[in-house]
Structure 1
Amino acid sequence: MAAKLSSRVSTSVACSSCRFLAVPSAITQRSFSTSTRLASEEPPTRSPERQPPRWSHTPPTAKAPFSLHIGSKRPDFYVNSDPKLLDQFYVRMLGEGGHKLLSEETKWLAVTHKSFDQGRRGFNDRLAYLGKRIVQLQTSLALVQDGSTVITQNAAVPDTFNRTPFTHPALDGLNNLDADAKAYQTSKEKLAALGMKYGLQKVMRWAPRKPYQLQASGIDLVLAHTLYSIVGAIALEQGGQMANKVAREKILAPLGVRIVA
């Protein structure tokens, strides 16, 4: 009797073990493979050609669940969305074919301030930072090389020991690197006037705090900021040599800074 019971227990244990070890025929397992997936197994994806460019719309994931201007009485401010108008601006500023120097997305990014659409479509802060460094460097080089317009407001005091300082034609422009000289040549008022001459205010995308008082909203600063960002965008996609040329010929020369070849 004990032998029969032990036999039944061992049989049941063996059977239960088989149930765990056996693979049911109804369950199919996918083996590892380096081959590409079948067309029928590809997840449905949206074609890139059908997706609108980022500059033209607010990304759905960045939209707030409610309006950010509930009860606001501030009137809407018109912002350009016509690519042809933007291309005309780049041609006016950069010359013939200037609209082809930048990619479509970068052209819009360069003229987009962070106040526009809460910055959800990208903005030009980093491009402006790079462009400002380039313009300031070219301004310093132009002032140093132009010895004919030496700034003498901080002329050296006559030496009491009748010593004669060392002079050289290559050093004549050092006095131009005054603390305020470079800031004066590229002041935001001058850059803003140049931007308006190019028609930048017609294509610049921003949201002024007071749509009826653009000066009080800081349009001069935004215009200067956008000019810098265009130079930074050209450096990003066309290289430093082209950006230096644009800074000298399209910004500094119109501002009256003498460029020495």
Structure 2
Amino acid sequence: MASKSSIRNIITSSTSTIRCAQATQPIRRPFIETSACTFSTTSSRRTPEYDTESADRPRWQQTPARMTAPFRTRPLPKGPVFKVNEDPRRLDDAYSKMLGSGGDKVLSDEVKWLAVTHKSFDHGRRGFNDRLAFLGRRIVSLQTSLALLSSPQASKVPEADNFGRKPYTHVALDGLPGLTQEAKDSVLDKSRLAQIAQRYGLDKVTRWKPRKADNLQGSGQEAVLATSLYAIIGAIALERGGEVANKVTQEKILSPLGFTFQS
């Protein structure tokens, strides 16, 4: 019977032989090595194509070069092509028509274009007016509620109940029956707001991409124009303050809808 020490020596010598054989063979890796530069997070150097004059143009005027695909992945749409306004003078005329004399100077150039840019235009790569419209919609909604509260209502003499009690009445509460969700929805209907936007010429300067260029109404033009109208109010609130935004809302949106305000 072999001793335990001799068996231990045989195992040790065999394993050392296997290790030497593995060391002489090249190491085979299961995965293909890739260059670390491919996954590098460091910013690349500015190439000469971005040093041209077009790189200094504002974002509203052109699509950012790094956000443009090298080739088109979708076929060209069939039918007529809808062309958006690119003339700053036409945009200034629309703002002057809406805000009065000097209206083209109320907002900065970047914000003026952003307020009339829908998210469907250029896949949103030049910015869009959703956030401005969210703020403007809250302002217009508040001013509409105040206008409904101040609107005269048909006075109705409250009748006493079986115990001789009469409901409390006050002058400040006379317009409360007119403040309903149905009344606000009727005032701020998108078709009515779209007509006001067309009156100011916003339909000629709003940048968007309709589903069908020959059917703007069916492509949602009313909702797009209402969004631009809200966005302008939101932009004025951010750059000029809430007081100016409230005044513009009363004079340029609610007054054409039939409300009257005291100066």
**Both proteins in one fold, TM over 0.5:** yes
Residue in 1 aligned with 2:32? none
Choose which of 89, 97, 102 in structure 1 pairs with 2:102.
Answer: 97
Post-superposition Cα deviations, 1:60-96, rounded to whole Å, max 9, x if no partner, equal 1111232143243243211000000000000000000
Deviation at 1:192, TM superposition (A): 0.4
CA distance in 2, matches of 1:165, 1:78: 60
- Which amino acid in structure 1 is aligned with residue 219 of structure 2? S
Residue in 2 aligned with 1:106? 111
- Does the 8 A contact of 1:145 with 1:260 survive in 2? no
Structure 1 runs (4+) deviating above 3 angstroms are 44-50, 155-160
SS of residue matched to 2:175? helix
Number of equivalenced pairs:
214
Alignment of 1:176-191 (within 5 A): 176-191=178-193
Deviation at 1:49, TM superposition (A): 9.9
Alignment of 1:12-161 (within 5 A): 51-146=56-151, 148=152, 150=153, 160-161=161-162
CA distance in 2, matches of 1:221, 1:156: 42
Residue in 1 aligned with 2:203? 201
Deviation at 1:143, TM superposition (A): 1.2
- Which amino acid in structure 2 is aligned with residue 54 of structure 1? R
- Does the 8 A contact of 1:114 with 1:124 survive in 2? yes
- Structure 1 gaps of 5+ residues are 1-43
- Does the 8 A contact of 2:159 with 2:166 survive in 1? no
- Does the 8 A contact of 1:151 with 1:175 survive in 2? no
- Which amino acid in structure 2 is aligned with residue 111 of structure 1? V
Deviation at 1:151, TM superposition (A): 6.9
CA distance in 2, matches of 1:58, 1:171: 53
SS of residue matched to 2:174? helix
Residue in 2 aligned with 1:17? none
- Which amino acid in structure 2 is aligned with residue 59 of structure 1? P
CA distance in 2, matches of 1:166, 1:253: 32
- After superposition, the Cα gap between the structure-2 partners of 1:66 and 1:151, relative to the gap in structure 1 and judged at 3 Å, is farther
Calculate the aligned-residue CA RMSD, in Å: 2.3
Residue in 1 aligned with 2:219? 217
Query: Greater CA deviation, 227-236 or 162-171?
Result: 162-171
- After superposition, the Cα gap between the structure-2 partners of 1:71 and 1:116, relative to the gap in structure 1 and judged at 3 Å, is closer
Query: Greater CA deviation, 68-77 or 193-202?
Result: 68-77
Q: Please give the TM-score of this superposition, normalised by the length of structure 1.
A: 0.76
SS of residue matched to 1:206? coil
- Which amino acid in structure 1 is aligned with residue 200 of structure 2? Y
Identity of aligned residues (%): 54
- After superposition, the Cα gap between the structure-2 partners of 1:214 and 1:71, relative to the gap in structure 1 and judged at 3 Å, is closer
Deviation at 1:163, TM superposition (A): 2.7
